[in-house]
A and B are shown apart, each in its own frame.
Chain A
Amino acid sequence: MADITLTSVGKTFSGTPAVQDISTRFEDGEFIALLGPSGCGKTTLLRLLAGFEVPSQGTIRIGDRDIANGDTGKMIPPENRNMGFVFQSYALWPHMTVRRNVSYPLEIRGFSKAEIASQTDAALTATGLGTYAERMPSELSGGQRQRVALARCLVSDPDAVLLDEPLANLDVALRASMQTVFTDFHKRTCATMVYVTHDQAEAMAMADRIAVMDNGRIQQFDTPQNLYERPKNRFVAEFVGLGTVVPMRGVEKNETSAHGHVLGRRIAINSTHECPSHVCLRPENLTISETGDLRAKVARVTYLGGKYLLETVSECGTRLLAETRAKFEVGVQLGLTITTPWAFYED
């Protein structure tokens, strides 16, 4: 059992809260991504799970055992937690060969020579490093180093694997292939994985659930699809995906449908809240047509490959993003139609 439960966890660094009042649960075998802008506390949360930091408040449990208690200041030190940690800098030991880097966790656990050899070989093969076993880390490329770090993590069969922006130092092409390595690894081992990233595409591509963090708090913890389609608040709506958050008035709701006034027009909306206050206008919610009743002027055109992103400014000064296959010149007047955007409540 490796489900992780956090209860009111907080961490303060010399008076400044880095993580505040986090209560949540990561299920056994889940692939979790912690997503947020830099300084949002996601790495601190990961280091709390690993045991490199002690929580200032709250408790962390794995399965049915307490691993850290901020109120008593007691914790299980990281070396006794049986968790894997993949560092952004890979943290391969430069004085050990690839093989020794990978076999070290087994040496620590006092395995026999034969067991160490066979398990190390298995881990090296699984990560495609078989032919590099005798090399030094300095002789490897970035992607290979990352795979060594992953193999080192995999070899000791950890309860949970914690990954701290593991792809941040790699180029774009390598990132895509390493994402496949991580998802394959997750499918094969069924280990609980917690993955810190500031790249939403990465989080969307891999995670079962994403915890979007800001200011030391989890803003929304949901599936990638829900985060995009049903954001809970303005931060999540603006941070995940493209779009504009616009206030809404005069909401009318009945059993089957809901309507509200957005930018002076009455439109159908989609919401679970009793009385939503804002809508999130994503490019999919905006259709360009000559007859569109919302008039807007094209301010900037960006080619995205196969389609264009239009940044338009409406009559009342609101910036709206739309996508089109046809090219428009800057300064052209357009008509836009809004189709059932997601609405949420925000103070």
Chain B
Amino acid sequence: MMNPTMQKEGSRSEGRLLCAILIVSICLTLAPVARLFVEGVTDQGTFGFTLAGKVLAQPSTMSALKHSLITASLGTIVSLVLGAAFAFLVALTNLRAKAALVFCLMIPMMIPPQITALSWTQIMGPSSVLLKTLGLAPPLGSPQPLYSVEGIILLLGIQHMSIIFLTLRAGLRAIPQETVEAARISGARGLRTWWQVILPLTLPSLAAGTAITFVTALGNFGIPAMLGIPAGYVTLPTLVYQKLAGLGTSVLAEVSVLAMLIGAVAVIGILAQRFFQTRQRIYLVGSTSRPLAIPLGAARLPVEILLWAIVGIILVLPMFGLLATSLVPAYGVPLRFDTVTLASWVEVLLRQPVTARAFVNSFGLAFGAALVLMILCLPLAWLMERSPTRLSRIFDSLLDLPYALPGVVLSIAMILLLINLPFTEATLYGTIWIIFFAYLARFFAVMFRPLQASLKQLDPAMGEAAQSVGATLFQRLRDVIIPLSAPAAAAGAILVFLTAFNELTVSALLWSSGTETLGVVIFNLDDSGETAMASALAMTIVMVVMLLMVLVQLLSRRFPKGVVPWQT
């Protein structure tokens, strides 16, 4: 029996631990954002907007802002059309093989954008190995059609259609079946049910999905970098990248203003998403036990063929292009039985020291980030659920910010925060640690949200039962909470690993020689014309991604609802 002394409630072990972890988490996630904000409203140490005004007045800023808004908004419309069509058909009708369709539709989101861009350029243009092999290639010298504003819009649209698909599908699944049945028994038939009952109920989730897609498209770096830079079409993220890569940290103050500009546009989008999400919650009450399955009748087979054809075009075809390019001895040679070779694979995977280094770096960063975030988020999510404080509620509403804000914004914030460590001469800029801390900030929400979803469903009596038989906070965490939330923690860790392993936007601004990540290496290989090697490396990464996704899928039966993001 422990020494039974009276304790002040606020100083109980739970409160102390929550406080400690909360402070660490806030330093990791919100401090960079706060630091960037301070930079934006000060001018060489004093409060003012002179520099901001100067940067904003430059024609390059204005044109990049215009380009960003054009590509992000039109790309969002492409995502909206594709994602909404798929979501309505999958969630509402009696299509077959829905699970396979959903899994395939998730892949575009998990494949990093620079690989999407690379794979699409391999099925178009005069030097496409696939087109050459089929004898369909346009004559040499004709332009690559994707190096254009239309190309950027199309690929942004495809890359982010999964976001619309997922949010809308979640919204549709929250509609109680009775609502639709009531409409049908009242005599509404066919499209009338859809137009007058289903659509109005899903508008909030559609709007929320659109807003967050816009923010993600705005922050996308891989696609406008791979397609826009060759075409001389510069968006805000690529402008920041070009300035920082060309002139180094001397332009830090200037790019901070640009980052603030992207951040400001993004925050408007995030606020819009929040607004629509709260609207959604007010609407829907009722049982959602059975999913809707409106019969399509004779149209079912044609619709299924059409959907799978679209999946084939946006997913399988580019992968074939990538594969074909990776198997030829030199870029531009057609693929035949006598030209097929694994030379690029061997070269990039086994010989190039930079790739080996990048593998080690990316693996270490992704694994380390997943591990640290798991250790941090598990007790935090439980304590925030069990004994929330005012500070923890505020943190709960802000912790998505580093993930939702464009990666360029977070990178600049990280540089500002870590270029001069307080009270020392040391700097983390140029070391691998700045990328690591940036990953911790960026992927905090990816780890935290699945855990939170799982712990919300955990009976609070589980912990209380252990407490009533005398288990201390540590014993309760070790023996009850951690084992019970382990599946969710594993899912979160795999998701963090998956996203961090492929990440380009953050590391593109933070890498230096020796700290390259896989995303950076693919980008640089393609930039220097080594397309075959870039393709081989990209194929490898695609395979790793698919493998991990299949792993999550196989484990998903053991997860509580809401843990696996594509199984909402």
Please list the residues of chain A having a beta carbon within 8 angstroms of any beta carbon in chain B: 50, 52, 54, 65-69, 72-85, 87-89, 91-95, 104-105, 108-109, 149, 152-153, 156, 162
Q: A82 CA to B467 CA in the complex, in Å?
A: 10
Residue A81 contacts which of B3, B4, B471, B472 (CB distance < 8 angstroms)? B4
In contact, B465 and A87 (Cβ under 8 angstroms): yes
Q: A60 CA to B486 CA in the complex, in Å?
A: 38
In contact, A104 and B464 (Cβ under 8 angstroms): no
In contact, B9 and A89 (Cβ under 8 angstroms): no
Q: Using A91-B459, A109-B1 as known contacts, say yes or no to A85 and B468 having CB atoms under 8 A apart.
A: yes
B444-476 interface code vs A (CB 8 A; 1 in, 0 out): 000000000000000101101111111110010
- Closest CB in chain B relative to A61 CB, distance in Å: 11
Residues from 1 to 38 in B contacting A, C-beta threshold 8 Å: 1-10, 12-13
In contact, A89 and B459 (Cβ under 8 angstroms): yes
CB of B371 within 8 A of chain A? no
**Which of B3, B461, B465, B480 is most buried by chain A, counting CB atoms within 10 A of its CB?**
B465
Q: A109 CA to B475 CA in the complex, in Å?
A: 11
In contact, B470 and A87 (Cβ under 8 angstroms): no
Q: Which residue of B lies closest to A73 (CB)?
A: B9
Give the 10 A-B residue pairs with the shortest CB-CB distance, closest first.
Answer: A91-B461, A105-B469, A85-B468, A91-B465, A74-B6, A87-B461, A78-B467, A95-B483, A108-B470, A80-B4
Q: A170 CA to B464 CA in the complex, in Å?
A: 22
In contact, B462 and A93 (Cβ under 8 angstroms): yes
Number of A-B residue pairs with CB-CB distance less than 8 Å in the complex they form: 99
Q: A72 CA to B465 CA in the complex, in Å?
A: 26
CB of B484 within 8 A of chain A? yes
- Closest CB in chain B relative to A93 CB, distance in Å: 6
Q: A149 CA to B469 CA in the complex, in Å?
A: 11
Residue B470 contacts which of A75, A82, A89 (CB distance < 8 angstroms)? A82
CB of B479 within 8 A of chain A? yes
**Which of B8, B461, B483 is most buried by chain A, counting CB atoms within 10 A of its CB?**
B461
The residues of A that contact B462 with a CB separation of less than 8 Å are 91, 93
Interface residues on B, range: 20 to 34
B472-513 interface code vs A (CB 8 A; 1 in, 0 out): 100100011001100000000000000000000000000000
The residues of B that contact A54 with a CB separation of less than 8 Å are 9
The residues of B that contact A50 with a CB separation of less than 8 Å are 464, 468
Q: A227 CA to B13 CA in the complex, in Å?
A: 43
Q: A79 CA to B1 CA in the complex, in Å?
A: 10
- Closest CB in chain B relative to A142 CB, distance in Å: 15
The residues of A that contact B3 with a CB separation of less than 8 Å are 80
In contact, A105 and B4 (Cβ under 8 angstroms): no
Q: A277 CA to B471 CA in the complex, in Å?
A: 53
| 9 examples of A-B residue contacts, CB within 8 angstroms | A65-B4, A67-B4, A74-B7, A74-B9, A78-B468, A84-B468, A91-B459, A108-B469, A156-B469
- Closest CB in chain B relative to A84 CB, distance in Å: 7
Q: A88 CA to B464 CA in the complex, in Å?
A: 12
In contact, A156 and B8 (Cβ under 8 angstroms): no
**Which of A72, A80, A152, A153 is most buried by chain B, counting CB atoms within 10 A of its CB?**
A80
The residues of B that contact A153 with a CB separation of less than 8 Å are 469
- Closest CB in chain B relative to A167 CB, distance in Å: 16
In contact, A80 and B470 (Cβ under 8 angstroms): yes
In contact, B469 and A152 (Cβ under 8 angstroms): yes
Q: A74 CA to B4 CA in the complex, in Å?
A: 12
The residues of B that contact A76 with a CB separation of less than 8 Å are 4-7
In contact, B4 and A108 (Cβ under 8 angstroms): no
Q: Using A87-B461, A108-B475 as known contacts, say yes or no to A66 and B469 having CB atoms under 8 A apart.
A: no
In contact, A84 and B469 (Cβ under 8 angstroms): yes
Q: A59 CA to B267 CA in the complex, in Å?
A: 50
In contact, A79 and B470 (Cβ under 8 angstroms): yes
The residues of A that contact B479 with a CB separation of less than 8 Å are 93, 104
Q: A109 CA to B466 CA in the complex, in Å?
A: 12
- Closest CB in chain B relative to A163 CB, distance in Å: 11
In contact, B6 and A89 (Cβ under 8 angstroms): no
**Which of A79, A93, A104 is most buried by chain B, counting CB atoms within 10 A of its CB?**
A79
In contact, A80 and B2 (Cβ under 8 angstroms): yes
Q: Which residue of A lies closest to B475 (CB)?
A: A108
Residue A78 contacts which of B6, B8, B464 (CB distance < 8 angstroms)? B464
The residues of B that contact A94 with a CB separation of less than 8 Å are 484
The residues of A that contact B464 with a CB separation of less than 8 Å are 50, 52, 78, 85, 87, 91
The residues of B that contact A84 with a CB separation of less than 8 Å are 468-469
Q: A85 CA to B5 CA in the complex, in Å?
A: 21
- Closest CB in chain A relative to B306 CB, distance in Å: 44
In contact, B471 and A79 (Cβ under 8 angstroms): yes
The residues of B that contact A149 with a CB separation of less than 8 Å are 465
The residues of B that contact A95 with a CB separation of less than 8 Å are 483-484
In contact, A83 and B5 (Cβ under 8 angstroms): no
Q: Using A87-B461, A91-B461, A93-B480 as known contacts, say yes or no to A69 and B6 having CB atoms under 8 A apart.
A: yes
- Closest CB in chain A relative to B293 CB, distance in Å: 30
Residue A93 contacts which of B8, B9, B465 (CB distance < 8 angstroms)? B465
Q: Which residue of B lies closest to A102 (CB)?
A: B469
Q: Which residue of A lies closest to B461 (CB)?
A: A91
Q: A30 CA to B93 CA in the complex, in Å?
A: 61
Q: A87 CA to B472 CA in the complex, in Å?
A: 19
Q: Which residue of A lies closest to B10 (CB)?
A: A73
Q: Which residue of A lies closest to B3 (CB)?
A: A80
In contact, B469 and A104 (Cβ under 8 angstroms): yes
Q: Which residue of B lies closest to A85 (CB)?
A: B468
- Closest CB in chain A relative to B260 CB, distance in Å: 38
Q: A145 CA to B329 CA in the complex, in Å?
A: 67
The residues of B that contact A66 with a CB separation of less than 8 Å are 6
Q: A50 CA to B3 CA in the complex, in Å?
A: 17
- Closest CB in chain B relative to A159 CB, distance in Å: 10
Q: A109 CA to B461 CA in the complex, in Å?
A: 20
Q: Using A52-B464, A93-B462, A104-B479 as known contacts, say yes or no to A77 and B1 having CB atoms under 8 A apart.
A: no
Q: Using A77-B12, A95-B484, A108-B471 as known contacts, say yes or no to A85 and B6 having CB atoms under 8 A apart.
A: no
- Closest CB in chain A relative to B551 CB, distance in Å: 21
Residue B484 contacts which of A88, A89, A93 (CB distance < 8 angstroms)? A93
In contact, A79 and B459 (Cβ under 8 angstroms): no
Q: Which residue of A lies closest to B471 (CB)?
A: A108
Q: Which residue of A lies closest to B464 (CB)?
A: A52
- Closest CB in chain B relative to A80 CB, distance in Å: 5
In contact, A75 and B2 (Cβ under 8 angstroms): no
The residues of B that contact A67 with a CB separation of less than 8 Å are 4, 6
- Closest CB in chain B relative to A347 CB, distance in Å: 38
The residues of B that contact A104 with a CB separation of less than 8 Å are 466, 469, 471, 479
- Closest CB in chain B relative to A46 CB, distance in Å: 11
Residues from 177 to 204 in B contacting A, C-beta threshold 8 Å: none
Q: A301 CA to B471 CA in the complex, in Å?
A: 55
The residues of A that contact B483 with a CB separation of less than 8 Å are 93, 95
- Closest CB in chain A relative to B109 CB, distance in Å: 32
- Closest CB in chain A relative to B14 CB, distance in Å: 9
In contact, A75 and B9 (Cβ under 8 angstroms): yes
- Closest CB in chain A relative to B30 CB, distance in Å: 27
- Closest CB in chain A relative to B318 CB, distance in Å: 43
Q: A83 CA to B472 CA in the complex, in Å?
A: 14
Q: Which residue of A lies closest to B469 (CB)?
A: A105
The residues of A that contact B472 with a CB separation of less than 8 Å are 79, 108
B37-77 interface code vs A (CB 8 A; 1 in, 0 out): 00000000000000000000000000000000000000000
- Closest CB in chain B relative to A223 CB, distance in Å: 28
Q: A65 CA to B465 CA in the complex, in Å?
A: 23
Residue A79 contacts which of B2, B5, B480 (CB distance < 8 angstroms)? B2
The residues of A that contact B468 with a CB separation of less than 8 Å are 50, 78-79, 81, 83-85, 162
The residues of B that contact A87 with a CB separation of less than 8 Å are 461, 464-465
B251-276 interface code vs A (CB 8 A; 1 in, 0 out): 00000000000000000000000000
- Closest CB in chain B relative to A280 CB, distance in Å: 38
Q: Using A85-B465, A91-B464 as known contacts, say yes or no to A77 and B471 having CB atoms under 8 A apart.
A: no
Residue A89 contacts which of B461, B467, B469, B480 (CB distance < 8 angstroms)? B461
The residues of B that contact A92 with a CB separation of less than 8 Å are 465
In contact, B6 and A82 (Cβ under 8 angstroms): no
**Which of B1, B462, B470 is most buried by chain A, counting CB atoms within 10 A of its CB?**
B470
